[in-house]
């Protein structure tokens, strides 16, 4: 059956609606988790959903383009333009505002920490420096502004490897690919379950199963699409086919709504098992993507959801530094607890900055020539490294009563006074079983 240009546009739009709606629920969950923990105690599943989306999209892109020299170069260029410039700009901006709002010894500490996300290896930071579960999940405990970048580092590491994986993957027929995908999901999931938290939470091998769920989703969708029957084929009863189509669309629309509602449900409610929550969130995200392919008129095209999905990358980057700097300032300079009003202002600023970045910077970099992006990346790298290394070079940064040569005597950043909002439920944190 030949697919017209209009049908291709419609299919792309449906897919985009589902992806953008999932991005919206993911970023809302993550932002709420980092700011209003009691409203979204399991908002961290947003990261798991992001990984499923990435796995699905990368599989779709590579299966359609194939693995050739030109397609692989184009793949990397698009990923670099989409992710790296804005990512580096956020790190640079965070360091600049840190110079304004953080005390000197803390400026020195976040500068040292910034080297890890700068080279896309922040997901290994806690493996070497902090093996405590609570250090990450106690979301208001410290003012470290780069903690959210670990997941982006995992994604970038995945993007680096995925063309090589598919170079081998696409040599086999679909049945074998599906079997290999299932094997990878089971293997990575088991690795996640039976390795230490310091390794399994933020490493690509233990998160690989989530990307592969996205891959499996694409492969299964392709099987169903290849088996579709065209109303113009043979002597089909057009009226009967129309009835079946209407029934199917209603059925899949209901399943899409239920799956999407399940994603929202998991932001607040838990099964009591971390791995089960994570697996359910990935499964529901896959179902939303799959079922939405058969919708006639998707409710997922709701404009606010699509827009939140559009700015989700910018919002993910900026929301955490903004909230941590705001909390740090309240604790250090005003000696007061963070109030709901102040957190709402912080969220509003994060959204405002995200919108500005999306419309003025992110979209421009995506459309810009690759050479322009490379020049921007080089400039941002140079400025960021200069800003980080300046204390070492000038030796003018003072840590309290100590000079930079004796900076180890400064209070360690992870010993910084805990910042706890008034509504922060410490008893609940201690009770939670990770």
Would you kindly state where each structural domain of the chain is located, as residue ranges?
14-66+170-299, 84-149+302-426
Cα 402 from Cα 406, distance rounded (Å): 6
Instruction: Tell me which of 240 and 206 has the higher pLDDT.
Output: 206
N residues, the chain: 434
3-state secondary structure of 409: helix
CA dihedral 389, 393, 397, 402 (to 10 degrees): 110
Measuring CA to CA, which residue among 188, 180, 179 is closest to residue 207? Answer: 188
Structural contact between residues 219 and 55, judged by C-beta atoms closer than 8 angstroms: no
Give the list of residues 6+ apart from residue 102 with CB closer than 8 angstroms, or none. Answer: 110, 143, 325, 328
Q: Hunting for tokens 């700009």 — which residue is that?
A: 89
255-290 pLDDT per residue, tens? 888 999 999 999 998 888 889 999 999 999 999 999
Instruction: Tell me which of 36 and 131 has the higher pLDDT.
Output: 36
Q: What string of DSSP letters covers 106-152?
A: HHHHHHHHHHHHHTT-GGGHHHHH---HHHHHSTTS---TTTTHHHH
320-332 pLDDT per residue, tens? 999 988 888 777 6
| Cα–Cα distance list, 139 to 33, 67, 341, 398 (Å) | 8, 41, 18, 29
Share of the chain above pLDDT 70, in %: 75
Instruction: Tell me which of 152 and 333 has the higher pLDDT.
Output: 152
Measuring CA to CA, which residue among 305, 262, 315, 282 is closest to residue 55? Answer: 282
Q: How many Cβ atoms are within 10 Å of 327's Cβ, its own excluded?
A: 22
88-138 pLDDT per residue, tens? 999 999 999 988 888 777 787 888 889 999 999 999 887 777 544 444 433
Structural contact between residues 256 and 288, judged by C-beta atoms closer than 8 angstroms: yes
Query: Per-residue pLDDT for 193 more than 60?
Result: yes
Query: Per-residue pLDDT for 6 more than 60?
Result: no
Cα 407 from Cα 410, distance rounded (Å): 5
Give the list of residues 6+ apart from residue 222 with CB closer than 8 angstroms, or none. Answer: 63, 174
């Amino acid at each position: 059956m030949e697919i017209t240009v209009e049908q291709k546009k419609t299919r792309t739009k449906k897919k985009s609606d589902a992806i953008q709606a999932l991005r919206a629920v993911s970023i809302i969950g993550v932002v709420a988790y980092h700011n209003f923990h009691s409203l979204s105690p399991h908002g961290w599943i947003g990261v798991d959903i992001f990984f499923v989306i990435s796995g699905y999209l990368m599989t779709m892109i590579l299966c359609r383009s194939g693995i050739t020299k030109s397609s692989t170069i184009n793949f990397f260029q698009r990923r670099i333009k989409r992710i790296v410039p804005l990512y580096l700009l956020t790190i640079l901006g965070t360091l600049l505002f840190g110079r304004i709002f953080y005390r000197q010894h803390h400026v020195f500490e976040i500068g040292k920490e910034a080297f890890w996300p700068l080279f896309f290896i922040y997901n290994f930071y806690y493996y070497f420096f902090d093996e405590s579960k609570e250090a990450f999940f106690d979301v208001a405990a410290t003012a470290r502004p780069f903690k959210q970048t670990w997941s982006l580092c995992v994604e970038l590491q995945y993007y680096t490897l995925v063309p090589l994986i598919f170079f081998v993957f696409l040599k086999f027929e679909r049945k074998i690919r599906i079997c290999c995908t299932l094997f990878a999901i089971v293997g990575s999931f088991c690795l996640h379950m039976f390795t230490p938290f310091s390794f399994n939470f933020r490493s690509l091998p233990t998160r690989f199963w989530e990307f592969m769920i996205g891959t499996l989703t694409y492969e299964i969708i392709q099987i169903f699409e290849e088996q579709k029957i065209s109303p113009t084929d043979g002597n089909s009863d057009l009226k009967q086919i129309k009835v079946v189509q209407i029934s199917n669309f209603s059925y899949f629309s209901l399943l899409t709504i239920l799956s999407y509602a399940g994603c929202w449900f998991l932001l607040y409610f838990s099964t009591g098992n971390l791995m089960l929550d994570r697996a359910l969130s990935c499964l529901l995200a896959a179902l939303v993507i799959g079922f939405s392919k058969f919708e006639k008129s998707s409710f997922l095209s709701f404009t606010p959801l699509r827009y939140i999905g559009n700015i989700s990358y910018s919002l993910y980057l900026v929301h955490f530094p903004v909230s941590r700097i705001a909390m740090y300032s309240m604790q250090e300079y005003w000696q007061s607890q963070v109030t709901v009003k102040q957190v709402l202002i912080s969220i509003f600023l994060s959204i405002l900055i995200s919108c500005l970045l999306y419309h003025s910077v992110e979209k421009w970099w995506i459309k810009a020539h690759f050479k322009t992006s490379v020049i921007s990346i080089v400039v941002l790298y140079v400025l960021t490294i200069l800003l980080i290394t300046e204390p070492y070079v000038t030796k003018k940064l003072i840590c309290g009563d100590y000079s930079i040569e004796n900076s180890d005597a400064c209070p360690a950043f992870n010993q910084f006074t805990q910042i706890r909002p008034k509504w922060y439920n410490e008893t609940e944190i201690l009770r939670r079983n990770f």
